[in-house]
C-alpha cells in the first residue's frame, strides 16, 4: 500500500513505524487509524502478532480492511 502525502499527494517513501516522511514537503506525518463509523482515532491492539483496531465509541473491533488512514503533520 502506498502512503500519499496529505499535502502534496505524492508517495511518501520513508517510513519509521507510524511515521512517514515526505521528501517533497520535507515534513513528517504521523499515520493515524480512524474509525469508518465515528471518525475518532482507533485504539491499536497488538495480540499474537496480529494488529486489531478498537473503537472506544461503541463500534467495537474494526477490521483492518475498514479502517480509515489519515496523516497528521508532526510538529
Ligand atoms: Zn508532501
Ligand atoms: Zn468509532
Other CB atoms within a 10 A radius of the CB of residue 47 amount to: 7
Which residues are bridge partners to 68 per DSSP? Answer: 34
If you measure from the C-alpha of residue 44 to the centroid of ligand 2, how many angstroms do you get, rounded to a whole number?
A: 13
If you measure from the C-alpha of residue 17 to the centroid of ligand 1, how many angstroms do you get, rounded to a whole number?
A: 18
The more confident residue out of 46 and 8 is 8
What pTM was computed for the model? 0.77
CA distances to 30, 34, 43 from 54, in Å:
19, 10, 5
Q: How far is it, in rounded angstroms, from Cα 72 to Cα 15?
A: 14
Neighbours of ion ligand 2 (CB under 5 A): 35, 37-38, 55, 57, 59
If you measure from the C-alpha of residue 39 to the centroid of ligand 2, how many angstroms do you get, rounded to a whole number?
A: 6
Q: Among 32, 10, 33, 35, which residue's Cα sits nearest to residue 21?
A: 10
pLDDT bracket for residue 1 (50, 70, 90): low
Q: How far apart are the first and last CA of the chain?
A: 25
Question: Mind listing the pLDDT tens digit for each residue in 30-74?
Answer: 999 999 999 999 999 887 888 889 999 999 999 989 999 999 999
Amino acid at each position: 500500500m502506498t502512503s500519499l502525502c496529505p499535502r502534496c499527494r505524492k508517495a511518501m517513501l520513508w517510513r519509521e513505524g507510524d511515521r512517514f516522511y515526505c521528501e517533497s514537503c520535507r515534513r513528517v506525518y504521523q499515520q493515524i487509524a480512524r474509525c469508518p463509523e465515528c471518525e475518532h482515532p482507533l485504539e491499536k491492539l497488538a495480540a499474537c502478532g496480529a494488529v486489531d483496531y478498537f473503537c472506544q465509541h461503541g463500534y467495537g473491533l474494526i477490521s483492518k480492511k475498514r479502517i480509515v488512514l489519515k496523516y497528521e503533520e508532526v510538529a
